[in-house]
Amino acid sequence: MIINKERKLEHVTYSKKEILLLIGVFTLLTTVILALHPLTAATTATTTVVAPTVSTYLKTVPLAKPLADPPNTIIHPTYDSKGNPPTAPGLIMKARVFNAEPPKVVYITIDDGPYLQNTPHLLDVLKKENVKATFFDVGQQIEQFPSLLKAEYDQGHAIGNHTYSHDYSALYKSPDTFLADVQKTDDLIFKIIGIHPKIIRAPGGTSCFNIAYYNLLDANDYMAYDWNLDTGDTDGKFSVQQIVNNVDKQIGNKHKIILIMHDLPNKSSSANALPIIIAHLKEKGYTFDTLSTNIIPITFPEGFYK
Ligand SMILES: [Zn+2]
C-alpha cells in the first residue's frame, strides 16, 4: 500500500512537473505565435523599426542598369558604299552620298596646328611634292595664326575642325560641350576663309564618343574622321627613320589610308619624314586626295558604345 501510495504520490508529483512544463511550453508557443501573426507583427513594427536613413537606402538599393542590346543586334561601324549610315542601338544618322574613290588612295591628315614652327615647313614639303593634305586645325591656334590657316586653304588643302580647346576634360563632359567647342572653331574658320568645314576630327578619335555624340554631330551635319595609319609622331621623340618605319609597317594591303601626323612645335621630324613617306606610298601605287563629306569616313569600330 505504502508503495502504491508512494507511487500515487510520485505520480501526483510528476503530474505537477508535467503541468508546469506544459504551461511553460504553452506560454512560449503563444508568445511566438502572437509575434508572428501579421496584426501583432505590424503593431510591433510600428513601434520598434526605425525608417532607414537616405545613405542606408542608397547603399542597399542597386541602381537600375540599362537594358542589354537585343541578341544578334547588327552593328555597322561606318557607312556602306551606298551611303547608308552606321547602325547601332540608339544611333540615328542620315544617309549620305559619297564619291567613288580610286583603288589605292591616301588621305594625309595633319592635326593640332597651325604653328609657326612646323606648319610652314609642312606646306613647303606638300607644295614641292604636289600633294594635297587635310589640316585638322585647332581653334585656339587659328586665333593665334590666322594667316597660316589662310595659307593652308589658299594652297588647296582641305580644312577640318579639330575643336577649339582640344581639352579632353571639357570636350568629353557632354555632347553639348563638344558641339559648342566645334562650333566656336567653325565660326573662326568662317571669319578667316569664308567656309564652314563639316569634317571634324575628335581629339583622341571617336573612341571617346558615345552614341549621343554621333547623333548630335550628325544632326548638325558634321562628320567625324578617324585614321587607320598612325605615324606615331605624337610622341615627339621619334626620328625621321622611326616615323618612316612606322608608316611602312602599317601600309599592308590597305586600299584606303587615312594617315595621321601632327604639326605641333616639337614635331620637326614629321615634316622631314613626309617626303620619304610620300615617295614610299607613290611607289606602292597610291594616289593622294583630300577629305570632304563626300568621302566615306574611317571610324574606329569601338567608338560605338553607350
Ligand atoms: Zn589632336
Mean pLDDT, contiguous 10-residue spans, the chain (306 residues)? 39 50 49 44 38 35 47 76 89 94 97 96 98 98 98 98 96 95 98 98 91 94 96 85 96 96 88 97 98 95 65
Cα of 203 to ligand 1 centre, how many Å?
A: 5
Within 10 angstroms of residue 275's Cβ, the number of other Cβ atoms is 16
Identify the active-site residue in 166, 262, 263, 289.
Answer: 262
Cα of 140 to ligand 1 centre, how many Å?
A: 12
Cα of 234 to ligand 1 centre, how many Å?
A: 9
State the pLDDT at residue 267: 74
Domain covering 105-303 assigned CATH 3.40.50.880 in the classification? no
User: Would strands 158-161 and 134-137 be described as parallel, antiparallel, or unpaired?
Assistant: parallel
State the pLDDT at residue 250: 96
Cα–Cα distances in angstroms (integers) from residue 217 to residues 93, 164, 181, 198, 230, in the given order = 9, 15, 12, 10, 24
Residue 197 cell numbers, joined: 568645314
State the pLDDT at residue 259: 98
Within 10 angstroms of residue 203's Cβ, the number of other Cβ atoms is 19
Nearest to residue 81, comparing CAs of 285, 291, 294? 294
Cα of 167 to ligand 1 centre, how many Å?
A: 9
Q: What is d(CA 117, CA 169) in angstroms, rounded to the nearest whole number?
A: 27
Domain with CATH 3.20.20.370 in the chain: 105-303
Identify the active-site residue in 111, 112, 137, 263.
Answer: 111
The pTM assigned to this predicted structure is 0.76
State the pLDDT at residue 82: 92
**Residue 262 designated active-site:** yes
**Residue 111 designated active-site:** yes
> 14: number of CA atoms within 13 Å, CB side?
6
Cα of 239 to ligand 1 centre, how many Å?
A: 20
State the pLDDT at residue 303: 64
Q: Residue 142 class from Cβ within 10 Å (0-12 exposed, 13-18 middle, 19+ buried)?
A: buried
Left (φ > 0), alpha (ψ -120 to 50) or beta: where does 119 sit? alpha
Cα of 166 to ligand 1 centre, how many Å?
A: 7
State the pLDDT at residue 254: 96
Cα of 165 to ligand 1 centre, how many Å?
A: 10
